Structure 1
C-alpha cells in the first residue's frame, strides 16, 4: 500500500506539500496540486482516516442508534440517513437497540468511544443517564422519530395526531363503533402519543374506549398477536383493531387468520406505519403513513448543522391516512389507494343538548 512519502516522491514535492493538498490548503500552487493529485490517483493512495481524525478532531462519521433494525420503518429510515450523510461527505455507523435500553446505551457508549462527530438516536425510553449526559455535555445530537421530553436536543419526527384523528373519523363514517387499539410502550413518546391521540379522537366522536379495548404492545409482532387474541376472546369483540405500529399489525393479522376470520368481513384492521407489503395483502391494509425518507434526510441535515457549528431547529412533518380496503372501504379491485386529507375529514356528530 502506497504511503504519503511515496506520493511525495512520485510528485516531486515534500510530504508537507502532499499533506496540504490532501487537506485542501490554499497555499499550494496549481502545478504542485495537479502533480500530487495525479500521483495519488496513480498509486491508489488512501489517507489514514484515524490519523487524520487525531489531527483534526474530526472523523467525518455519524452514529445512528435505531430502535429495531428488523422493523421495516427503521430500516427505511436508516437507509435514507446513510444516503443523505454520504451526499454531505459523512459515513454512518449503525447500532440496533432491539427496543432494549441496555443495548441502546451500549451502542451510544461504543460510538462515543469511536470519536464520532455526531449522534442520531431514536430513544427506546426516556430515562437513560448515559443519553442525558451525552446530550448535556456537548455531543452534537439529534433525536429522530422519538425523543426524550425536557432534553434540549433538536427532534426530527412525524406528527401523527391529525392522521389518527382522520383514521377514527374514517372508521366512524364507515359505521364502525367498537374500535380497539394495540398501543406501543408508554415509556416511548410515540407509544404514548398515539394512544392519547386515539383516545381523544374517540371521545370527540362520542365513541367509548373501554380498558378491554386497549391492548399493551411493545412494537413487536408477538405482542400484536397476543393483544388481538385477547380482543377476539371478549364476549363483544371490537369491530376494528388499530395497531399503533406495523410489526404489531402483522401480529394482529396472524391472530385473525389463525381464528379463520376474514378481513374486513369479520373484523377490520388498520395500522400505524406503512410497509411495502401492506399493499399486497388481501385486502390491502389501511394505514397511517409517515414520510420516512424525508425524516431521515432532515435528521442528517440537522445533525451536520450542529457538527459544523450552525444552529439546528427541530423539524415536524405530517403523517397521513392512506385508505385502502381492510376496514370495509368500497371501490373497484385494483383501484389506486385513496388518501384522505384533513380537508376531507368528516365532522364529528353533533351531540344533543337535552
Structure 2
C-alpha cells in the first residue's frame, strides 16, 4: 500500500506539500498540486482518515473504565459505548480496572492526563477518593451499571428488583422452597439491591432466606465455584440457587459438574445476566436479562449532553426475566 512518502517521491515534492494538497491548503502552486494529484492516482494512494483526525486538534476522546474485561456483560457494554461514541464523532479509550480500585485510579489519572473530553465509569466496590476529586475538579462524568450514593453522579443502569421478584415467584411456582443465593459484594449497590430484592421476593412468597443459604461472592468465577460447593455440602442443601451475576453463575455450573450433580434434577440454577450460550446448555439456563446495549448507548448520549452544557440525567432500565429449563419442576 502506497504511503505519503511514496507520493512525495513520485511527485518530486516534500511530504508537507503532499499533506497541504490533500487538505486543500491554498499555499501550493498549481504545478505542484497537479503533480501530487497525478501521483495519488497512479499509486492508488488512500489517506488514512483516522490518523489524520488523530493528528488534528479536532479529535475528541472519551474515557471508559470498566469493572472486568473478561465479564461478557462489560465486554458488550464497552462495545455499545464505542459504537455510540463513534456515531457522535468521538473515539473511546478503554481501561480495565479488574475490580481493583488502585487500577481504577491509575486509569483515571492516565485518561485525565490525556485530556479526554469526558469519563464513563463502572466504579469498583471500594470507593476511592480519586473519583470524588475528578468530580470536584469539574470533569464530566457518568456512571454505568453501578452508582455511588454519596456522589451525585448521573448513572445509567438496570432496575434490579422487578425481574428478581419474577424469578423467585417462578422458582416457588415449580416447587422450590429451599432457595439459596450467591450474592455480589455488599459494598456495591448492585449487590445490595439484588440481595434485598431476593429477600423481599422470598417473603412475598411465604419463604425466608436462612443464613446458611446466603453466600457473598465477588462477581468472579472462583467465588461462584466455592459458594456452590459449600451450599451443596450442607445437611439440607438448597434445591435451587440464584447466582447474582453471570461469572458467579459460570462458577456455580462448574461446581455442579465437578460434584457430579445434574442441573435441574439435583439442583436448579438461575443467573442474573443472560449469556448467548445459556440457551445451548442442557438444560438451558434460566436468567435475568439486562438491556446492556441500551445502557451503554444512553450513557454516551448523556455524557455528550453534559459536554454541551446540558444537565446529564440518570436512567434505570427494567430487566427481562427469561425462564428456561434449568430449574425444573419440583414438589414440596
Please indicate, yes or no, whether the TM-score normalized by the shorter chain is above 0.5: yes
Is there any run of 5+ residues in structure 2 with no aligned partner, and where? 6-14, 29-36
Contact conserved, 1:286 with 1:325, CA < 8 A, in 2? yes
Q: Deviations over 1:120-150 (max 9, x none)?
A: 0001125210011112221111000011112
Give the count of matched residue pairs. Answer: 304
DSSP-derived class of the 2:288 partner:
strand
Change (3 A) 1:196 1:307: same
Residue of structure 2 equivalent to 1:318: 318
Q: Superposition RMSD on alpha carbons, in Å?
A: 2.3
TM-score, normalising length from structure 2? 0.85
Residue of structure 2 equivalent to 1:107: 107
Q: Output the CA distance in 2 between the equivalents of 1:313 and 1:306.
A: 9
Give the CA deviation at 1:175: 1.2
TM-score, normalising length from structure 1? 0.80
Residue of structure 2 equivalent to 1:176: 176
DSSP-derived class of the 2:177 partner:
coil
Give the CA deviation at 1:6: 4.0
Q: Output the CA distance in 2 between the equivalents of 1:64 and 1:51.
A: 21
Change (3 A) 1:13 1:322: same
| 1:44 and 2:47 matched | yes
Residue of structure 2 equivalent to 1:79: 79
Is there any run of 5+ residues in structure 1 with no aligned partner, and where? 16-34, 331-354
Residue of structure 2 equivalent to 1:66: 66
The structure 1 segments of at least 4 consecutive aligned residues displaced by more than 3 Å after TM superposition are 1-12, 45-53
Give the CA deviation at 1:4: 6.0
Residue of structure 2 equivalent to 1:300: 300
Q: Output the CA distance in 1 between the equivalents of 2:48 and 2:18.
A: 9
Matches within 5 A, 1:1-354: 1=4, 5-8=17-20, 11=24, 13-14=26-27, 44=47, 52-53=56-57, 59-125=59-125, 127-328=127-328
Q: Output the CA distance in 2 between the equivalents of 1:188 and 1:7.
A: 52
Contact conserved, 2:101 with 2:126, CA < 8 A, in 1? no
